[in-house]
Amino acid sequence: MTDNRYPDFGVLLVDDEPSYLRSLSIALERAGITHLQRCEDPRRVMEILAREPIGLVTLDLTMPHLSGEALLARIVEEHPDVGVIVISGMNQVETAVDCIKNGAFDYFVKTDEQRRLIEGIKRAIRLQELKLENQALRQRFLDDTLEHPEAFAPIITADKGMRAVFQYLESVAPSRQPLLICGESGVGKELVARAVHRLSGRPGPLVSVNVAGLDDNVFADTLFGHQRGAFTGADQARAGMIEQAAEGTLFLDEIGDLSLASQVKLLRLLQEGEYYPLGSDRPKRLNARIVVATHRDLHAKQQAGDFRKDLYYRLRTHQVLIPPLRRRKPDLPLLLDHFLAEAAEELGKAVPSYPPELPVLLANYDFPGNIRELRAMAFDAMSLHRSRMLSMEAFKRAIEQGGGQAPAAEARERPVFAPDAPLPTLHEVADLLVGEAMRRAEGNQSLAARLLGISQPALSKRLKRRRQGDGDPL
């Protein structure tokens, strides 16, 4: 059975006043902090810390038998990973400074506004979560292990960069903080979101919403739901996607296309942890983990004023970038085999063999549509397949239609000549270009000629001249 208390570690409330412990517990539970333990006797604190997975302690300073200052010193010395928030009945600046110097995370006075104290405890919990996630991530990188490789089984890859992404996702999956998944269209961001949901162990469902093109009213109704009579045509109440994703994960795709008005609503949801269905004046708690994805450059959008800076920083508490397929060329044969087998099963055909030149052809294409584009190519080729050997014509046609060019910004940034070296001669450039084309085509003249944009006879003639020592340019 999954334990759905928040946070994953316990929060120990220490105070010799039972009434104060009771009121603080109620306030914290209303704020969604439910993994609580209470202790009225400071002499039992160290025993509890040794026995229970406590991550944060709120500590009263003035208590019988053992003072808060002495207890703080023992906690810092024996349990340095446990955060401590001091709550005192006296507003003494010198005492507060001493507590912070001695290792306390924060200091509050009991007469302070309770909302300020709750926000301070929330802040301490978030920092503890980040610290634990960083420790887990560091250990995974050192061990180079995946604890739950089965969660990533639908993602076909042998790329080391993707393995590092998986290790990071294992560390942050249990967190309740938002996760931002970035990457070009077609790289498999939704598959990553599904993996994160499986790893989180959350008992609720994964609910996916593509927010691109939703105006503000539709966005609010989709996420928050509405009460009966909230607007014309609202004949009955409807639960929003947030409620449908309760105890699970809400995946918001194409978040970079969200309107500014809707961004305000999403920011308030993340900050307050509650929302109002349309037509209702009673708030509901957010009980789902928020995962968002975009192919947009959110940093550039927020600098241009098209995306709120506060929402951007709230969303990128955890962030992962999925590399494009052109940077995962070793994955091409794996993906090709997978998609051909998938297409063959769907079309009721036997899985064909393919020419050894096909992976070489694909490796020299930039795949602007990424994995989605490769899948479409494989299915198109299988639909036309008749003989035992798969034809390359469908792939060649798709590559010609795609243009085979890298994204313009990336092509502009790619250095061609070293700025501090002399330019090569035209003869030298021609020889270097032919040599590189033959290397990329793995010696196949037909593919090399296609890469150079010339006919195969012209390339053959050029190669013959090179062998004879003639350096005429192409």
Transcribe 252-286 into DSSP letters.
EE-GGG--HHHHHHHHHHHHHSEE--BT--S-EE-
50 vs 44: CA distance, rounded Å: 10
* Topology given in CATH for the domain delimited by 151-323: Rossmann fold (3.40.50)
Q: Buried (b) or exposed (e) across 326-340, using 16+ Cβ within 10 A?
A: bebeebbeebbebbb
| Angle of CA points 74, 77, 82, to nearest 5° | 90
Per-residue confidence (pLDDT) for residue 469, from 0 to 100: 65
Query: Has residue 303 got a pLDDT over 70?
Result: yes
Q: How many CA atoms lie within 13 A of 230 on its CB side?
A: 19
Per-residue confidence (pLDDT) for residue 473, from 0 to 100: 47
Query: Has residue 369 got a pLDDT over 50?
Result: yes
Per-residue confidence (pLDDT) for residue 413, from 0 to 100: 55
The reported pTM is 0.72
The Cα-based distances of 455 to 129, 244, 261, 452 in angstroms read 60, 59, 55, 9
- Between helix 456-467 and helix 445-452 the angle, nearest 10°, is 100
391 vs 342: CA distance, rounded Å: 17
Q: Check: CATH 1.10.10 for 422-467?
A: yes
Nearest to 149 by CA among 179, 175, 170: 170
| Cis ω before 324 (30° cut-off from 0) | no
Per-residue confidence (pLDDT) for residue 1, from 0 to 100: 38
Greatest mean pLDDT among 82-96, 125-139, 344-358 lies in 344-358
The predicted-structure confidence for 370-386, as pLDDT tens digits, reads as follows 999 999 999 999 999 98
Q: If one looks up domain 10-135 in CATH, what number appears?
A: 3.40.50.2300
What is the arithmetic mean of pLDDT over 139-163?
A: 87
347 vs 337: CA distance, rounded Å: 15
DSSP state, residue 389: B
The ranges of the chain annotated as CATH 3.40.50.2300 are 10-135
Following CA atoms 9, 36, 49, 64 in sequence, which dihedral angle do they give, to the nearest 10 degrees?
150
Query: Has residue 307 got a pLDDT over 90?
Result: yes
167 vs 144: CA distance, rounded Å: 8
- What kind and span of H or E run contains 99? helix 93-101
The answer to whether 402 and 373 are in contact (CB under 8 A) is yes
- State the greatest distance between any 2 C-alpha atoms of the chain, in Å, as a whole number: 98
Architecture of the CATH domain 326-409:
Orthogonal Bundle (1.10)
Q: How many CA atoms lie within 13 A of 328 on its CB side?
A: 25
Average pLDDT, the chain: 88
330 vs 205: CA distance, rounded Å: 34
146 vs 155: CA distance, rounded Å: 14
The predicted-structure confidence for 187-228, as pLDDT tens digits, reads as follows 999 999 999 999 999 999 999 999 998 999 999 999 999 988
Structure-token pair, residue 150: 């089965």
How would you class 170 by CB atoms within 10 Å of its CB: exposed for 0-12, middle for 13-18, buried for 19 or more? Answer: buried
Nearest to 240 by CA among 272, 198, 280, 196: 280
Per-residue confidence (pLDDT) for residue 324, from 0 to 100: 95
SS3 category, 210: strand
Q: How many CA atoms lie within 13 A of 195 on its CB side?
A: 26
Per-residue confidence (pLDDT) for residue 95, from 0 to 100: 84
Query: Which amino acid would we find at residue 124?
Result: A
Higher pLDDT, 101 or 407: 101
Structure-token pair, residue 229: 């009579």
What is the arithmetic mean of pLDDT over 63-74?
A: 91
The ranges of the chain annotated as CATH 3.40.50.300 are 151-323
The ranges of the chain annotated as CATH 1.10.10 are 422-467
Query: Which amino acid would we find at residue 104?
Result: A
The answer to whether 246 and 204 are in contact (CB under 8 A) is yes
Q: Buried (b) or exposed (e) across 123-141, using 16+ Cβ within 10 A?
A: ebbeebbeebbeebbeebe
Per-residue confidence (pLDDT) for residue 410, from 0 to 100: 52
